[in-house]
Structure 1
């Protein structure tokens, strides 16, 4: 099969097209003939040598794919409501940048009615991540306020739409007025340009001094201490990436007095059972919203798979809103 491999750790140009043996599904797995692969920030970190695949996972980058089921045990597929030839999208621990990809059956979801494979490939990584961290770990409820750091990212545009769909108010930060406008067009209630305004003071002003109930943080570093200051009492910070560094200085007294929570998670090394439970929640609660058009994939650009290096360059430039997708042509 065709695949995109990391020749060595480094700049986008280290991504090269290679031929690899066709993977074979094992027990509890299926094989997807890939039409499209999502590009995500963890792929960039892996390319640079900063995010190794978990034990047993493919060394190829790529955490989400969409296509058709090419192989798998018919009984196992039937138990999951699937069959050979069905169109699915899947969250995987690696190997997504390839024309064929093995995925655990519990981590596969049918392509939502009305969506193409390109759109479907943009769903798993961000939707699994947002659901697990904002709703399960962060406990966001209707009527609360969600602050999303990096609202124009793939995670951000998903968090905006899911937060609004489930009755929360959503404030986002973004790095330009144009990105702020894009977030507002997706349903965000307020958008803060963090380059020209202090998000702590703005969140306090926009919430009449109350603060946000949940913060989805992809920055960490010195943001954590600042985020504590703009939390409501009993508020929760959920860290899902550390682009600003791994060390934070916080006021522990404030945590105690106002019953604040700082938590976080990374999804890639979690068990199939854990990810399967998220998939079940998404199928029940979110897939109907996608099929009804109440929320939608947001895709900045589609690249041919052979142009993966250019896709990574765009990702690293920050000049995108939403997702970047690779397209595979299978002969």
Structure 2
């Protein structure tokens, strides 16, 4: 098969388009003929060696994809060749206490496709049958590929961790990112008043079109003061953040007394300043978040099919231009998802 393979750690130039062995499905697995694969910041961290630095090379990156079931392994039921599916990138043992409690993203053997095993920048991928779900009707393969990782991440942050409810002021950082595009929509769906931040006026305009009630340019040094002004001096009750060290102190100051902050990444750096007095005196809760239970993909897909949530695709490139896709993502030149079309 054709695939984009990471042969070393480094810049986008380490991604090579070429031939790679086609995988075969084993028991309880399916092989999917990929039609589209979406990029995530996780792919950049894998490429640079920040995520899973001991990963064996060469390696195929990519967590998200949509496509068609092309082969089924022994024991698979309920799936047939030709089914159009989206791939859930969270992999777990399926047998431990966490998995059986519906907390599979806390499984001690938890993995993410493209980070721990070969991913989706390819014509084919093999995954457990439990990791595919029906593609929503009416979506293109490119739109469907843009859903899983970011919408799962945003769902756990907004719904499971923060418990957003009507009346909450919800601050969503970096509105143009895939996770935040999803979080804006999910927070609105659950009744929140969304304040979205971004570093350009164009991205702020797009965030308003997506449903944000208020927008703030976090390129301004005192951006958090504007958040407090927009909330009558109170600050945001709930915060969706993955921006990392550069903005973390501002995030703390933008949060209301008793507020909750969910963190799912650190795109500007892993080591930030934590003003402890703000945390204990104002009784803030800081909640780590990675992905979500596989079960959460089903309500997401239903809501997409009902038109209540929608993926946002900012750029489509052919598979062989994956390196250019990484550049677009790193330089933050796209609002929404960068998607690779696979022929």
- Give the structure-2-normalised TM-score: 0.86
> Once the 2 structures are TM-superposed, how far is the Cα of residue 214 of structure 1 from its aligned partner?
1.7
> Once the 2 structures are TM-superposed, how far is the Cα of residue 54 of structure 1 from its aligned partner?
8.6
The DSSP-based 3-state class of the residue aligned with 1:47 is helix
Could you list the per-position Cα deviations for residues 50-97 of structure 1 after superposition, in whole angstroms to 9, with x for gaps in the alignment?
Answer: 22279799931000110011122475332xxx3321111113311111
> Once the 2 structures are TM-superposed, how far is the Cα of residue 125 of structure 1 from its aligned partner?
1.1
Q: Rate the CA distance shift 1:154–1:54 in 2: closer, same or farther, 3 A.
A: farther
Unaligned runs of 5+ in 1: 268-274
Could you say which residue in structure 1 is the equivalent of 2:167? 143
2:310 to 292, 296, 304: 296
Please, which moves more after superposition, 196-205 or 69-78?
69-78
Could you say which residue in structure 2 is the equivalent of 1:243? 267
Unaligned runs of 5+ in 2: 90-112
Give the Cα–Cα distance (whole angstroms) in 2 for the partners of residues 138 and 113 of structure 1.
Answer: 30
Give the Cα–Cα distance (whole angstroms) in 2 for the partners of residues 48 and 251 of structure 1.
Answer: 30
> Once the 2 structures are TM-superposed, how far is the Cα of residue 128 of structure 1 from its aligned partner?
1.1
Q: Rate the CA distance shift 1:37–1:136 in 2: closer, same or farther, 3 A.
A: same
Give the Cα–Cα distance (whole angstroms) in 2 for the partners of residues 76 and 21 of structure 1.
Answer: 23
Could you say which residue in structure 2 is the equivalent of 1:90? 87
Could you say which residue in structure 2 is the equivalent of 1:102? 126
Q: Rate the CA distance shift 1:282–1:228 in 2: closer, same or farther, 3 A.
A: same
Q: Is the 8 A contact 1:180 1:192 kept in 2?
A: yes
Q: Is the 8 A contact 2:31 2:72 kept in 1?
A: yes
Could you say which residue in structure 2 is the equivalent of 1:270? none
Could you say which residue in structure 2 is the equivalent of 1:319? 333
Could you list the per-position Cα deviations for residues 127-146 of structure 1 after superposition, in whole angstroms to 9, with x for gaps in the alignment?
Answer: 11111222212222232122
Q: How does 1:62-211 map to 2 (within 5 A)?
A: 62-73=62-73, 75-78=75-78, 82-92=79-89, 93-94=113-114, 95-196=119-220, 198-211=222-235
Q: Rate the CA distance shift 1:311–1:249 in 2: closer, same or farther, 3 A.
A: closer
Could you say which residue in structure 1 is the equivalent of 2:244? 220
Please, which moves more after superposition, 196-205 or 30-39?
196-205
The DSSP-based 3-state class of the residue aligned with 1:76 is coil
Q: Is the 8 A contact 1:109 1:279 kept in 2?
A: no
Could you say which residue in structure 1 is the equivalent of 2:276? 252
Give the Cα–Cα distance (whole angstroms) in 2 for the partners of residues 28 and 54 of structure 1.
Answer: 28
Could you list the per-position Cα deviations for residues 217-252 of structure 1 after superposition, in whole angstroms to 9, with x for gaps in the alignment?
Answer: 112215333222221232111111112222232232
Give the Cα–Cα distance (whole angstroms) in 1 for the partners of residues 209 and 66 of structure 2.
Answer: 27
> Once the 2 structures are TM-superposed, how far is the Cα of residue 292 of structure 1 from its aligned partner?
2.2
What's the Cα RMSD here? 2.1
Please, which moves more after superposition, 211-220 or 182-191?
211-220
The DSSP-based 3-state class of the residue aligned with 2:22 is coil
The DSSP-based 3-state class of the residue aligned with 2:245 is coil
Give the Cα–Cα distance (whole angstroms) in 2 for the partners of residues 72 and 54 of structure 1.
Answer: 31
Q: Is the 8 A contact 2:36 2:145 kept in 1?
A: yes
Q: Is the 8 A contact 1:300 1:320 kept in 2?
A: yes
> Once the 2 structures are TM-superposed, how far is the Cα of residue 31 of structure 1 from its aligned partner?
1.3
The DSSP-based 3-state class of the residue aligned with 2:278 is helix
Give the Cα–Cα distance (whole angstroms) in 2 for the partners of residues 72 and 166 of structure 1.
Answer: 38
Q: Is the 8 A contact 1:7 1:16 kept in 2?
A: yes
Q: Rate the CA distance shift 1:31–1:54 in 2: closer, same or farther, 3 A.
A: farther
The DSSP-based 3-state class of the residue aligned with 1:320 is coil
Q: Is the 8 A contact 2:241 2:264 kept in 1?
A: yes
Q: Is the 8 A contact 1:200 1:229 kept in 2?
A: yes
